[in-house]
Structure 1
């Protein structure tokens, strides 16, 4: 049946439409233009870093960042398996090897103790994710990286605006990646960014994303010649897309506030209906932006089917990467990740978006209650 309640909806307004429309109506600068640099400045200001570089996707941003940090063939990068597959795949774009460490049950992020056990003389970097909008144990991972002279790269694709104390995610690592895919905190449809305090990394990223070309002006309107000084890709974000990002980022705090209030209301109503659903504990001082509403559910698979029949969309985030056909059969991975596999069997992600109504959340809670009764 058609879903009554989808997994996500995008919060947009007339400013989004106007910003994009103005760039289209200009009749020029659809690919490269001033909105890109403007969006980058707003991102860096919001996160609290010196630099931001935008890309056409979070995956191309991560690919470029690993290149910029010098990850190469023969290196190992410690990653979670409880993530979207791009996190694990990205090291292989350079010929490096993703090494899976287990997660912990509090934030569903990399377990620092498991990370320590997986460090070898080939380890070059640690690449944790901030699952669903909740910061991982990033301070502990920062300490491990420092103690072992490793690069720490934050995959903050799901967690723009999340923080520990006064520090936003994206500021703990050497660099970090954001995603603006359609279901994220803010969205440009597709898109991503790297944030960093390193001028060297930032300048390398500008080359990588645009064919290795030394940008000394606007390529499309300049009569001058441009030199190509390195190997690069076409990973640029368009000026039209950046215009949408500018209006979206202005709403970031509003979007986060609406998500947090909705998540608090929905989970409270579910707790009133049943004790068969458990919430993930939130460490003190952690600010969760609730890009996902993930809970632990008894009879999880039956609940998914029941909710689907009632018109409520759910999803499993994530099937462990190391159990995928590609990693098991083609790459021959055989990993011991008990917490990852256990949580993957028990978690369910419920609909969560800013415009979710009280009536819709009441319906979800009551439907879940009926299932368990």
Structure 2
């Protein structure tokens, strides 16, 4: 279907085109190269961590992080069910078991109280999600992790640039995953990264992402023989992709500012509609609005109503524990009342940097029409 108002668009300019073109025209180093290392350095500097390592996807990045943290067979990792399925699947890649905890209603992130209830002798890590660009209750989860000697891995796929006070998301955990998939705040089409202050984790993940190869130089530009010292994967980000990432990163603050301005316009208009509920965030939370999600009465009917007008909306997310794989294959049975309630009523509306006020107004007018608020 061709949407009159799509859910999202990528924000790009000629600098992106030039950066990628220059990398291609070099005729060399398409797989690895200086763009990758520079992108990693600049991400670490932006987030405020000592190290960053890029990957070909956020899922690969999480997989590598779990291996590097030593999480494996018979371990348990506490995760939300209200997330993209990769968050829950990743522990299974290393033989661990995802344990679902409920979410809270302010940020739609893991509920610290329920996390405490789900801790067992097998628990090795907590992996919270910063939903839609909003920080979760990560300070409370950090305290729980410290009190119970657990690893804290932030799934910050949707929250590049988000912060609590002057501390950016990605700096609270022992490590954090970033995603650069096409609908994210900063995008390279596909791609991801891990940020951390641990040199040990950084060195382990360098091996994991490149076949377990102990690299003393660029593999493709040297005739030196390199040894393979552990099991590894091909999780590398390409130099072409990193060129786009660098160009996007130069615009990060502009993109985030645009998102926040457009979100404020949306929020002011939606607050007048009786069928819409908007979460009330803590004062020191800096939301980057990777998604623009609200709670809507008669949500499914609203989605169909908007679809008939050519306006795309989407459910982010249906609970992972209710998917066929987790219910029928893995036999999960979970009591997650807040997750169920939120997922049954949440709707993500069209939103991206540069969305026109006219398009937002059309979305608002359609929602008002649906609820009879005209």
**Superposition TM-score, scaled by structure 2 size:** 0.99
Q: Equivalent residue for 1:356? A: 355
CA distance in 2, matches of 1:282, 1:256: 18
Query: How much does 1:280 deviate?
Result: 1.1
Query: How much does 1:271 deviate?
Result: 2.5
CA distance in 2, matches of 1:260, 1:19: 27
- 1:1-373 to 2 correspondences below 5 Å: 2-272=2-272, 274-373=273-372
- Show structure 1 runs of 5+ residues with no match: none
Partner SS, residue 220 of structure 2: coil
CA distance in 2, matches of 1:291, 1:237: 22
Query: How much does 1:351 deviate?
Result: 0.9
CA distance in 2, matches of 1:23, 1:343: 44
- The size of the alignment, in residue pairs, is 372
Partner SS, residue 344 of structure 2: helix
CA distance in 1, matches of 2:91, 2:322: 18
Partner SS, residue 152 of structure 2: strand
CA distance in 2, matches of 1:296, 1:167: 28
Query: How much does 1:270 deviate?
Result: 2.3
CA distance in 1, matches of 2:259, 2:310: 21
Partner SS, residue 193 of structure 1: strand
CA distance in 2, matches of 1:3, 1:222: 50
Say whether the 8 Å CA contact 1:270–1:366 is kept in structure 2: no
CA distance in 2, matches of 1:159, 1:133: 4
Query: How much does 1:275 deviate?
Result: 1.4
Partner SS, residue 194 of structure 1: strand
How big is each residue's C-alpha offset from its partner over 1:99-157, in whole Å with a ceiling of 9 and x where there is no partner? Answer: 00000000000000000000000000000000000000000000000000000000000
Say whether the 8 Å CA contact 2:271–2:278 is kept in structure 1: no
Say whether the 8 Å CA contact 2:274–2:371 is kept in structure 1: no
How big is each residue's C-alpha offset from its partner over 1:225-255, in whole Å with a ceiling of 9 and x where there is no partner? Answer: 0111110000000000000000001111110
Query: How much does 1:2 deviate?
Result: 2.5
Query: How much does 1:98 deviate?
Result: 0.2
CA distance in 2, matches of 1:310, 1:156: 33
Partner SS, residue 220 of structure 1: helix
CA distance in 1, matches of 2:213, 2:53: 15
CA distance in 2, matches of 1:218, 1:122: 40
CA distance in 1, matches of 2:101, 2:270: 32
Query: How much does 1:18 deviate?
Result: 0.5
CA distance in 2, matches of 1:67, 1:101: 22
Query: How much does 1:332 deviate?
Result: 0.3
Per mean C-alpha deviation after superposition, the further-off stretch among 261-270 and 202-211 is 261-270
Say whether the 8 Å CA contact 2:213–2:230 is kept in structure 1: yes
CA distance in 1, matches of 2:107, 2:10: 25
Query: How much does 1:266 deviate?
Result: 1.2
CA distance in 1, matches of 2:45, 2:14: 24
Partner SS, residue 177 of structure 1: strand
CA distance in 1, matches of 2:50, 2:61: 17
Say whether the 8 Å CA contact 2:315–2:346 is kept in structure 1: yes
Runs (4+) off by over 4 Å: none
CA distance in 1, matches of 2:223, 2:250: 36
CA distance in 1, matches of 2:52, 2:2: 40
Query: How much does 1:292 deviate?
Result: 0.4
CA distance in 2, matches of 1:187, 1:164: 22
How big is each residue's C-alpha offset from its partner over 1:17-58, in whole Å with a ceiling of 9 and x where there is no partner? Answer: 001000110111000111000000010000000000000000
CA distance in 2, matches of 1:215, 1:31: 15
Partner SS, residue 12 of structure 2: coil
Say whether the 8 Å CA contact 1:262–1:354 is kept in structure 2: yes
